[in-house]
Structure formats: structure tokens, C-alpha cells
Structure 1
Amino acid sequence: MGNFICLHCKGEFDQSVAIKDDSGHEFCCNGCMNVYGFLNSHNLSEFYDKLGNQKHFKAPNLTKIDTEAFYKNYVKNSDGFCEIYIIIEGIHCSACVWLNEKVLISSDGIIEVSLNSASQKAHIKWDNSIITLDQILHKISSIGYTPIPYDPQKADARASQKRREFYAKMLVGIFCTMNIMWVAVALYGGYFSGMSKDIKDILHFAEFILASPVLFYTGSEFFKGAYYAIKNRQANMDLSIAAGASIAYFYSVYAMLSRNGEVYFDSVAMIITFVFIGKFLEVISKKKSIDALDS
């Protein structure tokens, strides 16, 4: 038993699991065998020359595509022709772009094809009386790629909505943190000049009121990230921030109620707010990058 190289994906596989075509060529799976056969039968074997020694992804087995949902939600009319935006999953190099464009543009009825290798997004315009969307998507699937519907307007709306949500959370964090710092200054000043316990308790409660929306509203993004990190059994920055801020917050609540020890509500608010500002800037930069790629 030895390792063989798949003719399509260039990956190694054991001969015991080899799939053979009618010509006796051996492949690692049915998907790779079907794609190899399709390319050769359509005189597109030049793809392998362009790919060179690079490893290609393992071709998925063909699955039924719900073209009715594509038509209903994503196909638009333009100058009497149909057009759709899709993400072609699996594109990773110029050879992939060449192959998809070659297969599509050589098909009767395809008017226009533009494909971006960086974003994997494609814009296709066709004459529906000559070729159907089902045939177009089947051609993409036949060469081992997965077409996923994509609406730039909906994606832009989602990005804008997320930016507004982040902006509101950031404003709440900044407002509460600025005010909690004034209270903290009064507490630190009272530590040296002397302050009655009653006044100190009132200021601690004010910090608690201001820190709570920062942790649970502004910091909700960190808790979401921490949840998925725990779910996937992987530690990330969101988990460390959520854990650290929560421990400091609940310890401060205990210290406030027991009137024993120091509170750290100001630290909780500052950590959450400053890191969240970084997250907000990241969201803005991502949206600008997506807009630039779409353009």
C-alpha cells in the first residue's frame, strides 16, 4: 500500500481508497474524478498547466441547488437580461479564476462575467431564454466550486446596521466611563483627605450604576465572542476580556454590599470601553475594505 497523488487536487491518498475512472486514472474521491472528467471532456485541461505544482482543494460531490430560491431572492433584471451576484467558494488562485471565467463565458447565453479572486465574488449576466440559472450553477458545481448567493445591497445594509449598533454601544461606553472617572477622582481624593463611609457608599453605588451598562451593553460583544470560544474550546481575546472584567465587576459588587475592600468599577468600564473602541474601528475598516472590493 503506497501513497498516490490525485490528478485533480494534487493531494496524497492511500491506494486502498482510490477511485478509478474508465481510463484507469486514480483519484482520491468521486468529486475529483467528476471534475477531472468534466475538464477533459470540455477541453479545459489547460487548467492543470496553469495550476502547476500547487495543490488544489478537494472537489466536493455534486449537490442539488435550490435555484428557485436563487431566482426569488437574488436574481435581478437588467436591460432585459438576468443578473446575479454570487460567492464562488473554493477560489484561491488565478488558475481558479481563469477556469470559472472560461467555463462561464464560453457558454451560450452568458453576456457578462466578472470575478474577484480576493473576495470570491462574481457578477454574472445572462439571457434566460438561452441558458437558465440552474445550468449556470451546475457548470460552476461541475468544476468543483460551490456557488453561494450574495446580495451587495443586503450585505451593505447588514454592515451599516452593525456599524450603527457598535456606534451606539461605543457612545454609551464613553459617556459612562467619563462620568465614572469623575466619581473615581472624588473617591481617590477622599481617600487622602478623609471621607465618611456614607458618602463613600453613595459614590460606590454611583460607580456601580455607571459600570453596569458598560459591562452588559457595550461589553455584550465580548460575551458573544467568549461564548463561541468556549463552545469551540478555543481561548481568544474576547474570553480573557469578558472573564477579567466580570471577575472585577462582581468582586466590586461584593465589596460594595459588604462595605469591605476596594471597588474596581472604574477599571471595568475603562477596559471594556477602550478595547471596544478598537473593535469599532475594526468594523469601520472592514466595511471600507468590502466597499473597495465590491467597487
Structure 2
Amino acid sequence: MSFTVNAEISQFNGKLFKLSHDSETTHTKMDVNVFLPSGPSEKIPVLLYLSGLTCTPNNASEKSFFQYFANKFGFAIIFPDTSPRGAGIEGEDDSWDFGTGAAFYVDSTQEPWSKNYNMYSYVHKELLDKLAAYYPQLDIKDNISITGHSMGGYGALAGFFKNPGRYKSVSAFAPISNPSNCKWGEKCFGNYLGEDKESWYQYDPTHLIKSYKGPTPDILIHQGAQDGFYTKDEQLQPENFVAAAKESGYAGKVDLHVVDGYDHSYFFISSFAEDHAKFHAKYLGL
């Protein structure tokens, strides 16, 4: 058995499973939460939700309220972790925005991170393949969409562009839209990928969208107007992404909502989870 079931929780008439498994990609034990809706037990569409800095699979599954809408519309949700944990690398627990909880959804090329910090391949390849085998009722291979928050919003956008046609749709909450141009991205990219910025651009949505060749479903983004990471620290920069879209096949297809009164928290995410659930349900054929 590839997964250990640590908890099975009834929620919104569906079931939330808290799982763990040994990863060949990160060389660590990894946690993942999976929500299965009630209703039909075959060919269940899937939404992959990528979380932000410091988060575990529990943050979104306990605070986002996505499962209510997943059960209503009839799709499953996969909540991966945000990094390897317990890799034993010196310095991985020294700061909240790098290392543990902050793997930035890249495949690291630099020592000492390259052995364990390979979350791009873990999320988009190993984890999905293993879950497809473990839950054959999930239509992971043919009917899956992707979303995420902050670092996870960046990860969702990058994963969509790097896998043309793999995901039916993509959305994001307060994504780090131009990571090669902000402090979070500079810190993580510089340490995980090295100093060559060309390697950074291979994960940066604002660069990837310009050369993307594939299906172009609309992209939905919500951003809180009172989010300090947006207004003060300039970590998020969704306008840069929108500007880049205008120079690509995505001109006019990025729907950015900057909403007054909201910050960066799960109060913000839960307020607009229904909008994103409806958005993905349409593309998943529900």
C-alpha cells in the first residue's frame, strides 16, 4: 500500500482523508489530504490545491471551505504539502520564507537542496501518479484543474503553463505572480536554482505566459486590496502578470479581481472559494 491513512473525517457529506507516504522524489515522508465528494463513485473530476508559505495540507482543508463546494459540484480536492519536512539540511528551519514550508514548487538544482527539494516533480508527477493508482475512481489523468494561494498561486500558474493541456483550468488567490522580481522569489530561486536568472524564468508565470503554447481557458485571480504583501511589500505583482498576458495568446483572458477590504488570510480565501469552485466546475464539465 503506497499511502497510510492517518485520519478519515466526514465533512459536508463527503470524506476527508489525511494520508502520508514515502516519496522517492523528496526522499522524505510526505503528508497529503484528499477530499472525496459524495455521489457518483467513478470518473470523479479533481481540483489540485497548492498552499502558500508555511502551510501544511491542513491549513486549506480546515479553513478554505472548498470542500463544501467540492461536494456540491461533485469534484475531489488534493491538498499536497508545501515542502519536504525533516530532510535534515542545515538551515532549512531558520526562516519562515525559505526551507521547510517554503519549497516554492521547483526542482532544486543547487546543493544541498537538490536531493530533497523537488516539489515540482513531486506535485505534478509522483503524487498525482500515486493517487491515481490508489484512488482509481479519481479522473486525475484526464479531468483535473489547479488552483492555489500565494506561493501556491504562483505554483498553480507555473504548473499550468509548464504542462500545456494537462490541467483543464487554473485560478489563483493572491499569487506571487512575478517571483523573479520580488524578495521571496529572489531568495528561494537564488538558493534552489542558482544565480542564472534564465533558470528562474522557467518557473515564473509572468515569463512563462509569453511563450506558452496550449489551450487558453480563462484565468481567474482574486487579490485582496488590503493585503500587505500586495500593497507594501510588493511581493505579489499581479499587474505584471496581466501586462505579460497582453503580449501573449492570453490577451484579454486573465480575469483579475482586486477586492476592497480583504487581506492575505484564509478569511479572504474562504470568501471567494465559491467563485473559484464554480469556475473550475465549468471547465471540469460539472
TM-score range, shorter chain: under 0.3
TM, length-normalised to structure 2: 0.23
Give the number of the structure whose residues are more often strand, by fraction.
2
TM, length-normalised to structure 1: 0.23
Give the number of the structure whose residues are more often helix, by fraction.
1
Which entry has the higher C-alpha Rg, 1 or 2?
1
